[in-house]
């Protein structure tokens, strides 16, 4: 018996893809329908879970098997073709009911859908209310729409169903799951767009339905379950990157399809440029997982095809203009309201988090930082107002930021006789600092020394607050870390890199702890990691060990921490390869800056935190006391005892695990400092010197302070007394070191920024490559020889690759031969060497009070002064100066290939560190995708309810 006109015929197309968890329930729900469909086509898409293995149908039910990977829309199309053909000679109203394996309909779902379309003939697509399969009272999806620029929006999602949206039935689109569509319209519009295999296929189809003059409606009475969004259909998991790509690709495809013909070329030309801009925006918004998908989506739409076929299909069926669906789109006002509501909710959630244990302004943090600033001013008063510093490991910086960046990376270095190779990573740190104070780059070094103490206190306050609960304990930690012997030793001896590392270490500690929370923390940690490693390369082993431990401990969220060392690797790789090529890999750990002799402290002094063997200045102060050498070690050990006792005592409290980890890090820092005293890779004159142990002691001291503060925090009533005693006794132990400038023990001194004499500087104005041979008499009767270019060496052009060389280069050997013969009477003709090396001046440095050095100085000055080829300029602030009257050659500055390599390396650094810096910029909490919560379309001119009433 054939069905009558009043009885529509329904073909259910059920798509299954590894749906073992849901398929049986869906089939049972179909069997329980109060209005049964006439036909059933089950389309299996490569299921491997056995969900359709035992299915067999006959009569009006069929099973179609397709290979894995077929899109949901293609599966529906194949199912429609396999269904019994539509009637062509009888007025039968035929419908397709599209279901997924997780779309179990309520018993009256089909009856409710058919009732709705029967009373509204213009409705050719009807959609049910999709509810969660595990909680039917929660709406999974109810209606879809777009913004003016094509972004898809689920109107209602993840809300408790209280009937609050049941009156909004006239919508732009409905979801694919549970969609009831007139078969003739499906065939007329050729179903879902094949270029939308994952998302937005139903949205695009419904949009074309609207433009073809038909209507789309929601039927709130009809309820169908859903286990998740369509992009997760048949997949165990969809990564964030894939989710971003498929949504963005679908949006761009629809934009190209819907664009007017006159603007199509403009849309195509801007696809990739806009994608690059949006990728940078994702970096700033701390969403790096979306960068590559954003670019991939743009390239796929621009060059993947499919747009032309979709545009032809749309043009073939379109009968109405876009103004017809304008009321059904989501207005920017509604979208802005939704974003504001979501952002406020996120901010409220953040603000409702547990408050900080201590307030920086209200609990003494600001006061300890101000006290450290006052201490810095008093200690370093002679440096105030100075434009530059010299002495120890310091020299002025180059005069312009351009010259600073010229010394960064792989290229030609004019240091000494000149060489081609990588710079120290620390040169990048100096370039950044000098660029900040671009009008006087050398002032940056002075500022770093002046703010080292208050910034150390600030960082330590926040670090200690992270692991303690009492509000006053961070003040103790900040004070202890600010007066660390390693810091005051680094400042007074001119170890700029060690001072920077000491300041940055607490912030690195905080950033690594918080790196699992966001990309901002992780990227900040990567930048701080690079700064510490570049400033103090001897800390590379302990930094890498701590990073590995952090990865293992937080392995569940290690995806952010795993990238922390990447900028450091990029920064160090050229230097590591260069040192490895000449068999001197340990030289990577050499201290950056001017090579300066450092005496090795004993193991006991290292254990007390002393980087120098002078007991923080107490040894020269008490040199007149006969028993000082015997008593001083005992007294210093007693002064350090409270900090050590509090740190060890922390193991007895309830936070013993954190304290234990801090003590292990302290042990690693001590081991680093001890190893540094046994590594001699840097040449200083005629000798070599150890690596500065103060950097390792900074790690040791920070970890010890953290553990001690935990111990003080868990003490009973005696805690304030113990904290005060530890701080006071530590202050007494380092008091002479803070008075180094007043006692005459400081190595650094203020300078005008001029390295060579005014006469040489004047010559260098006309000839920036003018060479000055600097001869420095040594205490052992030998000569140290350097070759200065232009106005003299600067801190940023120093290189550990040169300072740690295992043998002299050919030009270096010629330089030493030249200097040795000039400093003594011989028959050697210096003119060829002087011309080739570009030497126009010879400077004999002051010899000091040592008789051996004075004898060498006088002999050299006499030999050069009696040479008719030299003119004596006279005594200068740095020594006795002579001018060579002959012609000299201009020195080479590197080949074109070297300069290109330098530029390329700077570009690589800019990309890596620029990306990290963008990610490190803090932003407000990232809002969720606009498909969450409620966004209701503007009320259309005619609603489904109005037509039903008619």
Answer for the pair 232, 238: CB distance below 8 angstroms, yes or no.
yes
Under 8 Å CB-to-CB from 149, ≥6 apart: which residues?
A: 255
Angle CA 925–931–932, to nearest 5: 60
Under 8 Å CB-to-CB from 657, ≥6 apart: which residues?
A: none
pLDDT digits (tens, 9 = 90+) for 131-162: 998 888 899 999 999 988 788 888 888 888 88
Q: Report d(CA 767, CA 761) in Å as an integer.
A: 10
Query: Is residue 88's pLDDT more than 60?
Result: no
Per-chain mean pLDDT for the chain: 85
Q: Report d(CA 157, CA 160) in Å as an integer.
A: 9
Q: Is the dihedral of CA 366, 367, 373, 376 positive or negative?
A: negative
Six-digit token pair at 406? Answer: 């010229």
User: Cα separations (Å) of 704 from 479, 670, 700?
Assistant: 13, 10, 6
| pLDDT value of residue 410 | 86
Six-digit token pair at 282? Answer: 């994702």
Which one, of 489, 948, 924, lies nearest residue 733 by Cα?
489
- Average pLDDT estimate for 376-384: 92
- Average pLDDT estimate for 370-397: 91
Answer for the pair 328, 940: CB distance below 8 angstroms, yes or no.
yes
Q: Report d(CA 569, CA 562) in Å as an integer.
A: 13
- Average pLDDT estimate for 636-647: 89
Q: Report d(CA 124, CA 41) in Å as an integer.
A: 21
Provide the CB-side half-sphere exposure for 374 (13 A, CA).
7
| pLDDT value of residue 774 | 85
- Average pLDDT estimate for 434-448: 93
- C-alpha radius of gyration, the chain, whole number: 38
Query: Is residue 544's pLDDT more than 90?
Result: yes
| pLDDT value of residue 354 | 45
pLDDT digits (tens, 9 = 90+) for 248-278: 999 999 999 999 988 888 988 999 999 988 8
Instruction: Kindly write down the DSSP assignment for every residue of 508-522, as one continuous string.
Output: HHHHHHHTTT-HHHH
Burial 406-426 (b: 16+ CB within 10 A, else e): bbbbbbbbbbbbbbebbbbbb
| pLDDT value of residue 351 | 44
User: Cα separations (Å) of 341 from 52, 139, 344, 550, 723?
Assistant: 45, 19, 5, 36, 47
Angle CA 802–573–680, to nearest 5: 40
Lowest mean pLDDT of 281-285, 336-340, 505-509, 884-888, name the range. 336-340
SS3 content of the chain, % helix, strand, coil (to 5): 50, 15, 35
Output phi, psi for 418, to 5 deg. 90, 145
Q: Report d(CA 218, CA 203) in Å as an integer.
A: 13
Output phi, psi for 10, to 5 deg. -115, 130
| pLDDT value of residue 840 | 84
Angle of the 365-379 helix axis to the 719-738 helix axis, nearest 10: 20
- Give residue 488's pLDDT band: very low, low, confident or very high (50, 70, 90): very high
| pLDDT value of residue 807 | 77
User: Cα separations (Å) of 580 from 415, 536, 577?
Assistant: 21, 19, 5
Q: Report d(CA 388, CA 750) in Å as an integer.
A: 6
Burial 795-809 (b: 16+ CB within 10 A, else e): bbbbbbbbbbbeeee
- Average pLDDT estimate for 769-774: 82
Q: Report d(CA 546, CA 666) in Å as an integer.
A: 11
Q: Report d(CA 441, CA 120) in Å as an integer.
A: 78
Which one, of 847, 856, 888, lies nearest residue 870 by Cα?
888
- Give residue 91's pLDDT band: very low, low, confident or very high (50, 70, 90): low
| pLDDT value of residue 943 | 40
Q: Report d(CA 922, CA 620) in Å as an integer.
A: 49
Six-digit token pair at 484? Answer: 């660390």
Six-digit token pair at 638? Answer: 């007693």
- Average pLDDT estimate for 445-458: 95
Answer for the pair 529, 543: CB distance below 8 angstroms, yes or no.
yes
Give the length of the chain.
950
Output phi, psi for 47, to 5 deg. -65, 135
Considering 151-160, 227-236, 372-381, 718-727, the range whose residues carry the highest mean pLDDT is: 372-381
pLDDT digits (tens, 9 = 90+) for 795-853: 888 888 888 887 777 777 788 888 888 887 777 788 888 888 888 888 888 777 777 77
Under 8 Å CB-to-CB from 900, ≥6 apart: which residues?
A: none
- Quickly tell me which residue has 């060497």 as its tokens: 833
Instruction: Kindly write down the DSSP assignment for every residue of 702-767, as one continuous string.
Output: HHHHHHHHHHHHT--TTHHHHHHHHHHHHHHHHHHHHTHHHHT--S-EEE-S--S-HHHHHHHHH-
Query: Is residue 780's pLDDT more than 80?
Result: no
| pLDDT value of residue 76 | 93
879 backbone φψ class: left, alpha, beta (φ>0; ψ -120 to 50): left
Angle CA 669–675–676, to nearest 5: 90
pLDDT digits (tens, 9 = 90+) for 28-63: 999 999 999 999 999 999 888 888 887 777 678 889
Which one, of 336, 342, 341, 443, lies nearest residue 385 by Cα?
443
Query: Is residue 933's pLDDT more than 70?
Result: no
Under 8 Å CB-to-CB from 743, ≥6 apart: which residues?
A: 617, 620, 621, 736
Ordered alpha helix ranges (H), 468-607? 473-482, 485-493, 496-514, 519-535, 540-553, 558-561, 566-581, 603-607
Under 8 Å CB-to-CB from 78, ≥6 apart: which residues?
A: 43, 64, 66, 70
**Local structure of 934: helix, strand or coil:** strand
Which one, of 722, 653, 718, lies nearest residue 467 by Cα?
653
Under 8 Å CB-to-CB from 390, ≥6 apart: which residues?
A: 396, 748, 749, 751, 755
Q: Report d(CA 589, CA 542) in Å as an integer.
A: 12
pLDDT digits (tens, 9 = 90+) for 584-609: 899 899 999 888 888 899 999 999 99
Angle of the 628-649 helix axis to the 694-713 helix axis, nearest 10: 50
Output phi, psi for 41, to 5 deg. -125, 115
**Local structure of 183: helix, strand or coil:** helix
């Amino acid at each position: 018996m054939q069905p009558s006109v009043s009885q529509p015929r329904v073909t259910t197309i059920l798509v299954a893809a590894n749906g073992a968890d849901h398929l049986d329930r869906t089939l049972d729900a179909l069997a329980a329908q109060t209005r049964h469909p006439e036909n059933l086509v089950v389309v299996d898409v490569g299921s491997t879970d056995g969900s359709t293995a035992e299915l067999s149908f006959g009569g009006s039910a069929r099973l179609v098997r397709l290979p894995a990977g077929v899109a949901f829309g293609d599966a529906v199309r194949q199912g429609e073709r396999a269904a019994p053909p539509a009637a062509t000679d009888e007025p039968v109203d035929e419908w397709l009911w599209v279901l997924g394996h997780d779309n179990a309909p309520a018993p009256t779902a089909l009856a409710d859908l058919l009732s709705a379309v029967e009373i509204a003939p213009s409705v050719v697509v009807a959609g049910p209310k999709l509810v969660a399969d595990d909680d039917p009272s929660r709406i999974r999806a109810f209606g879809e729409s777009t913004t003016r620029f094509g972004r898809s929006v689920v109107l209602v999602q993840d809300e408790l169903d209280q009937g609050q949206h049941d009156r909004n039935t006239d919508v732009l689109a409905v979801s694919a799951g549970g969609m009831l569509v007139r078969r003739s319209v499906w065939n007329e519009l050729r179903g879902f767009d094949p270029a939308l295999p994952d998302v937005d296929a139903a949205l695009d189809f419904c949009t074309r339905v609207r433009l073809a003059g038909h209507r789309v409606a929601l039927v709130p009475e009809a309820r169908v379950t859903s286990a998740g969004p369509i992009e997760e259909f048949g997949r165990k998991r969809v990564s964030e990157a894939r989710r971003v790509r498929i949504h963005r690709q679908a949006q761009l495809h629809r934009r190209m399809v819907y664009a007017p013909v006159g603007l199509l070329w403009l849309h195509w030309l801007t696809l990739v440029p806009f994608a690059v801009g949006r990728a940078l925006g994702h970096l700033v918004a701390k969403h790096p997982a979306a960068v590559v998908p954003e670019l991939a989506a743009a390239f796929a739409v621009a060059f993947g095809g499919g747009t032309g076929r979709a545009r032809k299909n749309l043009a073939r069926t379109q009968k109405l203009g876009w103004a017809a669906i304008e009321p059904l789109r989501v207005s920017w006002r509604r979208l802005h309201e939704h974003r504001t509501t979501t952002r406020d909710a996120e901010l409220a959630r953040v603000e409702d988090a547990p408050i900080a244990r201590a307030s920086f302004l209200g609990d003494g943090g600001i006061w300890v930082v101000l006290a450290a600033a006052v201490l810095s001013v008093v200690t370093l008063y002679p440096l105030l107002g100075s434009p530059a510093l010299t002495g120890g490991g310091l020299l002025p910086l180059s005069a312009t930021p351009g010259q600073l960046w010229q010394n960064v990376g792989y290229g030609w270095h004019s240091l000494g006789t000149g060489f081609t190779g990588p710079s120290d990573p620390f040169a990048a740190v100096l370039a950044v600092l000098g660029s900040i104070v671009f009008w006087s780059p050398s002032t940056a070094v002075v500022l770093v020394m002046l703010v080292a103490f208050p910034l150390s206190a600030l960082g330590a306050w926040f670090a200690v607050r992270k692991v303690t609960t009492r509000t006053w304990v961070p003040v103790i930690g900040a004070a202890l870390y600010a007066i660390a012997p390693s810091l005051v030793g680094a400042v007074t001896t001119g170890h700029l890199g060690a001072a920077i590392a000491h300041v940055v270490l607490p912030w690195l500690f905080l950033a690594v702890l918080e790196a699992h929370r966001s990309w901002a923390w992780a990227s900040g940690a990567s930048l701080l990691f690079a700064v510490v490693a570049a400033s103090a390369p001897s800390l590379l082993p302990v930094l890498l060990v701590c990073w590995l431990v952090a990865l293992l401990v937080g392995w569940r969220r290690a995806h952010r921490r795993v990238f922390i060392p990447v900028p450091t690797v990029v920064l160090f790789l050229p230097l590591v390869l260069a040192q490895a090529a000449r068999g001197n890999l340990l030289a990577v750990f050499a201290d950056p800056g001017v090579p300066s002799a450092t005496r090795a402290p004993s193991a006991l002094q290292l254990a007390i935190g002393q980087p120098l063997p002078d007991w923080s200045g107490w040894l020269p102060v008490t040199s007149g006391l006969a028993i000082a050498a015997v008593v001083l070690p005992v007294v210093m050990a007693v002064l350090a005892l409270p900090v050590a006792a509090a740190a060890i005592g922390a193991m007895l409290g309830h936070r013993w695990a954190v304290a234990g980890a801090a003590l292990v890090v302290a042990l690693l820092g001590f081991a680093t400092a001890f190893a540094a005293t046994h590594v001699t890779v840097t040449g200083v004159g005629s000798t070599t010197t150890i690596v500065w142990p103060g950097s390792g002691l900074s790690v040791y001291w920070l970890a010890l302070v953290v553990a001690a503060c935990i111990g003080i925090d868990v003490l009973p009533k005696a805690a304030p007394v113990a904290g005060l005693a530890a701080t006071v006794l530590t202050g007494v132990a380092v008091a002479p070191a803070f008075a180094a400038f007043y006692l005459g023990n400081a190595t650094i001194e203020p300078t005008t920024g001029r390295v060579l004499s005014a006469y040489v500087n004047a010559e260098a104005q006309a000839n920036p490559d003018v060479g000055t041979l600097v001869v420095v008499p040594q205490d052992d009767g030998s000569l140290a020889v350097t070759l200065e270019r232009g106005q003299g060496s600067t801190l940023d052009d120093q290189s550990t690759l040169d300072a740690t060389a295992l043998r002299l280069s050919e030009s270096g050997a010629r330089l030493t031969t030249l200097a040795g013969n000039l400093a003594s009477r011989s028959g050697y003709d210096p003119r060829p060497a002087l011309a080739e090396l570009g030497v126009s001046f010879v400077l004999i440095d002051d010899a000091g009070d040592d008789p051996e050095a004075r004898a060498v100085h006088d002999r050299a000055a006499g030999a050069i002064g009696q040479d008719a080829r030299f003119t004596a300029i006279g005594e200068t602030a740095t020594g006795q100066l002579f001018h060579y009257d002959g012609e000299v050659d201009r020195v080479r500055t590197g080949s074109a290939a070297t300069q290109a390599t330098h530029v390329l390396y700077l570009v690589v650094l800019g990309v890596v560190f620029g990306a990290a810096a963008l990610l490190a910029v803090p932003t407000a909490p990232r809002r969720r995708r606009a498909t969450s919560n409620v966004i209701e379309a503007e009320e259309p001119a005619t609603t489904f309810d109005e037509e039903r009433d008619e």
